[in-house]
Amino acid sequence: MPLSDLNDESSPQSQIISRIKELREDEEKNAIDLAHDIGISEEDYEGYESGRLDIPISLLYKIAAALNVDPTVLLTGEDPRMESAAVCRAGQGVQVERYPGYEFSSLAYNFKGRTLEPLLVYLDPSKPEAAQVTHDGQEFNYVTEGKIKVTVGKRSYVLAAGDSIYFDAKLPHGQAAAEGPARFITIIQEKP
């Protein structure tokens, strides 16, 4: 999340951080308690809540669970409403710039109780490659446009449109544009 966005209270990133703070206060939790609940240091938590650190989507899930809300509440400020099916029209997903050069759209944000998080990700090759992340569960990436480099553990794979990869998300991993702009669908499963 760009730090410049934190000065813009209308930016999606600032709104997510504001919702987290408000919900944490509503639950009468301080930053130390919430950091403990989600299994990170107080210093890291304060970095996320202040906007100095980018909040990984997997951490948004943990924060939402600790605050007893659906992750959609953090992303949009609203509860998901659909129980049997949720349609996401082209270009209508909830968009978040996770960090410069890595923007995603949540494609199932309006489905209650989802156990998978499908995201459409755009990678901008002009931005620096982000640090690798880890999270519980498994992850699937399917390239729709361009080429991406997916690093899982110590191995890197270059995938072109139509290629896919499935991996253990507990291993350090990350994606970067390999040759020009790229898009891929990622499906993250954290809950059994």
Q: What is the mean pLDDT of each run of 10 residues along the chain (192 residues)?
A: 48 83 92 92 91 80 90 85 87 77 86 90 88 88 97 97 96 93 92 58
For the chain, residues classed under CATH 2.60.120.10 are 94-189
Burial (CB < 10 A; 0-12, 13-18, 19+), residue 181, is middle
Dist. CA 167–CA 174, nearest whole Å: 11
From-to residues of CATH 1.10.260.40 in the chain: 3-76
Could you tell me which CATH class the domain 3-76 is placed in? mainly alpha
From the list 74, 70, 95, the residue with the least C-alpha distance to 83 is 70
**CA pair distance 21, 31, nearest whole angstrom:** 9
Please report, for residues 42, 90, 118, 133, the alpha-carbon distance to residue 94 in angstroms, rounded to integers and kept in the order given: 29, 11, 11, 21
Which class in CATH covers the domain with range 94-189? mainly beta
| Residue 185: per-residue pLDDT | 97
Distance, in Å, from the CA atom of 31 to the CA atom of 177, rounded to the nearest integer, reads: 35
pLDDT number for residue 192: 55
Q: What is the pLDDT of residues 155-183, one digit of tens each?
A: 999 999 999 999 999 999 999 999 999 99
Can you give the pTM of this predicted structure? 0.75
Which two structure tokens, joined as six digits, stand for 160?
Answer: 């072109």
Give the per-residue pLDDT at 9: 63
The per-residue pLDDT for 4 is 39
Alpha-helix runs per DSSP H in 67-139? 71-76
